Structure 1
Amino acid sequence: MLPGTEPNNYEWRLSAITLSSGADSVQLGGYFNIYNQQTSRSKNLSERTFIFTDRALYRPGQIIYFKGIMLESSNGGRSNNVLKARSTTVTLNDANGQKVASIQLTTNEFGSFSGKFNAPEGLLGGQMRISNESGSAGFSVEEYKRPKFYVEFDTLKGSYALSEQVKVKGFAKAYAGNNIDGAAVKYRVVRQARFPYYWCFYRFGMPSSPSKEITSGIATTKVDGSFDIEFNAMPDKSIDPKALPVFTYTVYADITDINGETRSGNVGVQAGYTSLQIETNIAEDSKPEELKNVNIRTENLNGIFTPAQVKVSVSRLEFPGFLRKRLWETPDQFAMTEAAFKVAFPNDEYKEESNYLNWKKGKLLHEASFTTTANGNVSIPESTWYQNGWYVIEISTKDAQGHDILEKKYTHVWAPGKKEANQKDILAYTDKSSYEPGQEAELWLATAVDNPYLLRTSTQPYAVTNPIRLKITEEDRGGLAYAWMYVYNNRVYRTEKTANVPWSNKQLQVEWAT
């Protein structure tokens, strides 16, 4: 813990920290904010007002109904009480911040007040505000007309191939139920690229593909209010197909009826070098029990579920040992051979060996083939993750055209009680994602080196054990925050962890009754 000049009185900001051991020292520059729990929970009182309006948009001259609730907060915002019989001045300000009107109100026994203003007429429209001494609410005042019709597009259910003609069907429909025929349609189609499979390009960086308008034109709505837009799904040929780009063709349509009213709509069409994509929810950091059931779905590029025969394989990656990362970019030409480099610098990486994406696959631990389902539920034996470390999950299939599709997910699995060397420089692990008062939290800390000298900060003092056991109390609502840092071979490693303790006792319970 950082010492203070007085008990529970720390400097709020440090510009540098120097760590020393014997004749060795390192200075960490930057700014460090020190959180003092005692000070943060001071008894200083503050007032807040929450103001609500009945609508977000008004026409000039309409009545603006508002309501406010006044609170007095203390103990760092953890204690709140309504302010009864409190007099307050509520002011209406226009779009230029000028006072338009004000009213004097007094809160009732529930700390609330209510009133009304007339939206100003003859002034510049825009964002206006209602405020008092400790709160405000914004709203818009505009001259507007209610729309008489809207634009929508047919749901896209098919798969589309690159370099082929695509037809998109849309409709102009009146809110009264009739069709809008004979209306002018101006449209344009804009192409953008995305790259869902990062492992295809991470070595060289994400390719660049700026958005481009590929076509535009005019059309007219038919008797049934429909209109058709056709375009060629041209790919960006400057992108290597091996990067597996997916192109989004956004169709924008502006429709003007015979009365001069204009409404707009848009729809996106997806196309790529493959017609199928694999979606999965596997996170980068996992616990063994979280991977017993994972979600794997196959969809066409427009997000519609498409069943497919897939194969899933799980392998553990071979850990090369804990190495210092380069402080500079990897050179394209090496002055030393790898063998000579390892002799001179045994603790440093030679060619990005510390990046798990470059590690070799180890033994195959699990393999299964199945047909995907709409819910995507897939079971993997928990025994697959019997060791801590990095794993790669490979999911492969073929689309209707016979193209191979491969998705790779890398996940770091960690559980307490295992003997393997830690493959991350430092990590913190909690047994649950959320806690309630009365429960006990377990917080584990693991480092890549044995027994480093840890600098720690926290919102609550704790006994230095592993695991750290914390008795959660009502005072902990809002969450507990912890951070650790250590220095090894002149490199700084840090992590932080939050124990979530929600304000579940403040949740409103709404019930319908007859």
Structure 2
Amino acid sequence: MVVFGLLFVVSSAVFLLLGIKHYQPSIHSSQQVAVTKALPTTPISQAPVVSGAGRYRESDITIYGDGKGGINGTGGVVNMSALEDPSIYLYSYKLAGTFDVDVYEASITQLMEFLVVNEKGNQINPRPDIKGLKLVTSFKQAVNNPDYSYNNLKVDLPIKDRGIWFVNFRYGNTNIGAYIIRSNVGVLAKEGDDQLIFWAQDFKTGRSAPGGKITTYRVRDSRVKLSSAGFSTEGIAETNLSASADIALYQNGDNISLIPLNLRYLNTEYNYRPFQENTLLTRYFIFTDRPIYKPGGTVYFKTVLRNDDDARLSVPQGTASVKVTVSYNQGDSWKTETVMQKNFSISSEGTINGEFVLPQNAKTGTYELTVKYPSGTQENNGYGYWYGDYSTNYLSFDVQNYTKPEFFLTASANQTDILAGDTVRINVTGTYFSGQPLIGHKIKYAVYSSDFYAYDYYYGYNHYETVLSDNYRYGYWNGKKVNESTVELDNRGVANITIKTAANTEGKPQVYTIEVASDGPDTPAFSRKNVLVRSGEFDILRKDYRQHAKTGENYTLPLVIIPVLSNFSIKGTELTANIQRKSWTYNYNPDTKVYSSSKQEEVLPEQKLTTDSNGGATLSFVPRTNGSYDIKISGRDTRGNIVSKTFYIYSSDDNYYYSDTGGMSELIVTADKKQYDPTDAAELTISSKVSNRDV
């Protein structure tokens, strides 16, 4: 444990460490080792990083069938560390077929052209000129996911440890691709007092990366250079803060890093811009009396407003404008119509409230109520949209010609967490709006099964189990239909559905979704219940976080099995380990100036393991060749159910970068007190489980 102290004076300013997460199509970042940030922090809505040399893998490219034999999808930009497995994850659904995958070497200029957007944030050049790229290799990639269930497919790529590439997936006449930036240097961007502060870190050493240059750009309409600065010996660079700064580009030799600043999404018209000059912000809390109304109904609303001057809150004075709009399709264009616009006086408590009546012929759809306080510079952020920081200044509500339901359906289960092969009983209750039972009514039901993500790590498993219910009990899981039929409600308005669950042939846990609906022309009623079906009487977990191995040296993977919903005896369980290596050779002929590459796959000898009295077992092997290794561990429970987990490691030799912190990547910050007054001195202690690194 490495510990050091930091003393500073508390002010009313708030200094935030930004966690960056992107959705496709987007500039896609990952955790600790991504080239957009170097500290092992946990971005909002992402799981903690589990390896000093790995990243929390999300879908890098999304492709789905359009139901007509074609495909749609999204790509973007994938930031990748030189330390991690050179692969991307392809997320697909409703798609079965074979893609032609082309991998090109690209340049900074081509990447920058890809990022140029118009005033609404839509790309001007969404497809690169393939003729200007250098083809590295082409190969086939099969996808077999014909239904709506979710599937993340790992695709290994023949790319070097540093550089820029473009990966293109071809299916018929449709092309979907993404740029990949791989670097050994990560850069963290933070906002100072009207400054952008950048810190560069070498992923191999964990130390600050001196030298190199950072350049900020505006990419609206065209690429415009805004500022540049060199990095100090401490790996720090500072530039002027500008709301027009969309991205920053780090360059030091062949290390290139792309840092998303105010450009976080592509082609979504999403316009939150976190890096702005320090100006007066207005924060809003807006609410209406109901979420849905009928045409001709009265909408009551209220808003609480506060001015925020760097965390100094005050009550605004004067008036605020309220505007209500509805947007709808008209032919091939999108129209926005103003329903109401009016100024309201702000009370001494900093609130406004009012009401308005919807026209009897009001259009149905989603309406937007926007509140605007004229606080100057925050009215326009360069893209023509109102900026409200973390507090939005608008609220949506629906207008529909709805009818109150004549009756309700409720589905409940006698168990919501069971083992494969168990039987679950679904109780369906029908009730009239008056409270009387719905007798003799026919109800149709359908049962769907979809894969459920199972946690891989022993440490943290208890927390995973604690929050498990929120991960599977709610929401629509799609999946394959396994059964459908109808039942009739008895004289109590009740029907029972018995479902026999089946073991998954791949040893994966499943979510069974049971949907019930009224069968007939009545006012529709619907209910859904999700049940988690565990793959077997035990689960297989890994006891370390190491996702890197060194080629030619012995690699060990400590495993443990734990009972699941049973008294399963963990001692003496036989496990089978199947290991497959996937790698690419990458060559360039300087005489012919031709790139060549080939994919290699190798199946290593199968290993048998037996758990000890604590349920532990250790897999050991020597990776002889650089590449990605898929390690599938499987076993059977007393019912004959297959339980399986696949773990991934990446092996490299001394010619490549190698890092292994065993998952000890987090920083811990503790304060000497829980609460401070302005001008108090606060002492912070920063602890790291990894020694010999900079923070």
Taking structure 1 as the reference length, the TM-score comes to 0.51
Task: Spell out the pairing of 1:358-397 with structure 2 (5 A cutoff).
Answer: none
For 1:225, the equivalent position in structure 2 comes to 493
Give, in angstroms, the shift of residue 161 of structure 1: 5.2
One-letter identity of the residue aligned with 1:73: D
Kept in 2, the 8 Å contact 1:172–1:225? The answer is yes
Distance in structure 2 (CA, Å) of the matches to 1:273 and 1:193: 10
Kept in 2, the 8 Å contact 1:248–1:268? The answer is yes
Residues 312/130 of structure 1: CA separation in 2 closer, same or farther (3 Å cut): farther
Give, in angstroms, the shift of residue 264 of structure 1: 1.3
Kept in 2, the 8 Å contact 1:187–1:217? The answer is yes
Distance in structure 1 (CA, Å) of the matches to 2:261 and 2:441: 64
Give, in angstroms, the shift of residue 280 of structure 1: 8.4
Distance in structure 1 (CA, Å) of the matches to 2:483 and 2:666: 53
For 1:93, the equivalent position in structure 2 comes to 325
Out of 45, 57, 63, the residue aligned to residue 292 of structure 2 is 57
For 1:44, the equivalent position in structure 2 comes to 279
Task: Spell out the pairing of 1:61-460 with structure 2 (5 A cutoff).
Answer: 61-75=296-310, 78-84=311-317, 86-96=318-328, 97-134=336-373, 135-157=393-415, 162=421, 168-194=426-452, 196=454, 211-230=479-498, 233=501, 241=505, 243-256=506-519, 260-271=522-533, 274=536, 276-278=537-539, 284=545, 298-300=563-565, 306-310=566-570, 331-332=600-601, 350-351=624-625, 401=639, 423-424=660-661, 428-432=665-669, 438-444=682-688, 446=690
The two structures, once aligned, show a CA RMSD in angstroms of: 5.1
For 1:29, the equivalent position in structure 2 comes to 256
Kept in 1, the 8 Å contact 2:429–2:495? The answer is yes
Name stretches of at least 5 consecutive residues in structure 2 with no aligned partner: 1-198, 200-212, 215-227, 231-236, 263-273, 329-335, 374-392, 458-477, 547-560, 574-582, 587-596, 604-621, 649-657, 677-681
Kept in 2, the 8 Å contact 1:42–1:74? The answer is no
Distance in structure 1 (CA, Å) of the matches to 2:275 and 2:423: 63
Per-residue deviation, residues 477-508 of structure 1 (Å, max 9, x unmatched): xxxxx6xxxxxxxxxxxxxxxxxxxxxxxxxx
Larger Rg computed on CA atoms? 1
Kept in 2, the 8 Å contact 1:54–1:65? The answer is yes
Q: Do residues 17 (structure 1) and 251 (structure 2) align?
A: yes
Residues 59/280 of structure 1: CA separation in 2 closer, same or farther (3 Å cut): farther
For 2:20, the equivalent position in structure 1 comes to none
Kept in 2, the 8 Å contact 1:49–1:71? The answer is yes
Task: Spell out the pairing of 1:459-470 with structure 2 (5 A cutoff).
Answer: none
Distance in structure 2 (CA, Å) of the matches to 1:177 and 1:298: 44
Distance in structure 1 (CA, Å) of the matches to 2:542 and 2:411: 30
Distance in structure 2 (CA, Å) of the matches to 1:333 and 1:160: 35
Higher relative contact order (CA 8 A, sep 6+): 2
Distance in structure 1 (CA, Å) of the matches to 2:289 and 2:541: 42
Kept in 1, the 8 Å contact 2:540–2:643? The answer is no
Kept in 2, the 8 Å contact 1:52–1:68? The answer is yes
Give, in angstroms, the shift of residue 15 of structure 1: 3.4
Per-residue deviation, residues 374-398 of structure 1 (Å, max 9, x unmatched): xxxxxxxxxxxxxxxxxxxx9x999
Distance in structure 1 (CA, Å) of the matches to 2:366 and 2:426: 38
Which secondary structure does the structure 1 equivalent of 2:525 belong to? strand
One-letter identity of the residue aligned with 1:119: L
Give, in angstroms, the shift of residue 5 of structure 1: 5.9
Per-residue deviation, residues 287-324 of structure 1 (Å, max 9, x unmatched): xxxxxxxxx98544xxxxx45555699xxxxxxxxxx9
Which secondary structure does the structure 1 equivalent of 2:413 belong to? coil
Residues 79/41 of structure 1: CA separation in 2 closer, same or farther (3 Å cut): farther
Residues 308/128 of structure 1: CA separation in 2 closer, same or farther (3 Å cut): same
For 2:109, the equivalent position in structure 1 comes to none
Give, in angstroms, the shift of residue 211 of structure 1: 3.6
Kept in 2, the 8 Å contact 1:149–1:173? The answer is yes
Distance in structure 1 (CA, Å) of the matches to 2:290 and 2:513: 33
Distance in structure 2 (CA, Å) of the matches to 1:326 and 1:425: 28
One-letter identity of the residue aligned with 1:254: A
For 1:320, the equivalent position in structure 2 comes to none
For 1:204, the equivalent position in structure 2 comes to none
Per-residue deviation, residues 135-170 of structure 1 (Å, max 9, x unmatched): 3221112222333432223433395654x9865442
Identical residues among aligned pairs (%): 15
Distance in structure 1 (CA, Å) of the matches to 2:544 and 2:261: 32
Residues 444/228 of structure 1: CA separation in 2 closer, same or farther (3 Å cut): closer
Kept in 2, the 8 Å contact 1:169–1:228? The answer is yes
One-letter identity of the residue aligned with 1:262: P
Kept in 2, the 8 Å contact 1:310–1:397? The answer is no
Residues 32/444 of structure 1: CA separation in 2 closer, same or farther (3 Å cut): same
For 2:193, the equivalent position in structure 1 comes to none
Which secondary structure does the structure 1 equivalent of 2:515 belong to? strand
Residues 91/312 of structure 1: CA separation in 2 closer, same or farther (3 Å cut): farther
Per-residue deviation, residues 441-492 of structure 1 (Å, max 9, x unmatched): 2244847xxxxxxxxxxxxxxxxxx687xxxxxxxxxxxxx6xxxxxxxxxx
One-letter identity of the residue aligned with 1:118: V
Distance in structure 2 (CA, Å) of the matches to 1:121 and 1:312: 73
One-letter identity of the residue aligned with 1:153: A
Per-residue deviation, residues 36-57 of structure 1 (Å, max 9, x unmatched): xxx9685433444442212211
Name stretches of at least 5 consecutive residues in structure 1 with no aligned partner: 19-25, 200-209, 286-295, 301-305, 314-323, 335-347, 359-393, 411-420, 448-465, 469-481, 483-514
Give, in angstroms, the shift of residue 408 of structure 1: 10
Kept in 2, the 8 Å contact 1:16–1:27? The answer is no
Kept in 1, the 8 Å contact 2:369–2:394? The answer is yes
Distance in structure 2 (CA, Å) of the matches to 1:224 and 1:123: 41
Give, in angstroms, the shift of residue 273 of structure 1: 5.9
One-letter identity of the residue aligned with 1:224: R
One-letter identity of the residue aligned with 2:306: L
Give, in angstroms, the shift of residue 248 of structure 1: 3.7
Residues 113/159 of structure 1: CA separation in 2 closer, same or farther (3 Å cut): closer
One-letter identity of the residue aligned with 2:299: I
Residues 232/8 of structure 1: CA separation in 2 closer, same or farther (3 Å cut): closer
For 1:290, the equivalent position in structure 2 comes to none
Distance in structure 2 (CA, Å) of the matches to 1:268 and 1:152: 13
Which secondary structure does the structure 2 equivalent of 1:177 belong to? coil
Give, in angstroms, the shift of residue 132 of structure 1: 3.2
Residues 221/118 of structure 1: CA separation in 2 closer, same or farther (3 Å cut): same
Give, in angstroms, the shift of residue 183 of structure 1: 0.8
Give, in angstroms, the shift of residue 95 of structure 1: 4.5
Distance in structure 1 (CA, Å) of the matches to 2:447 and 2:356: 46
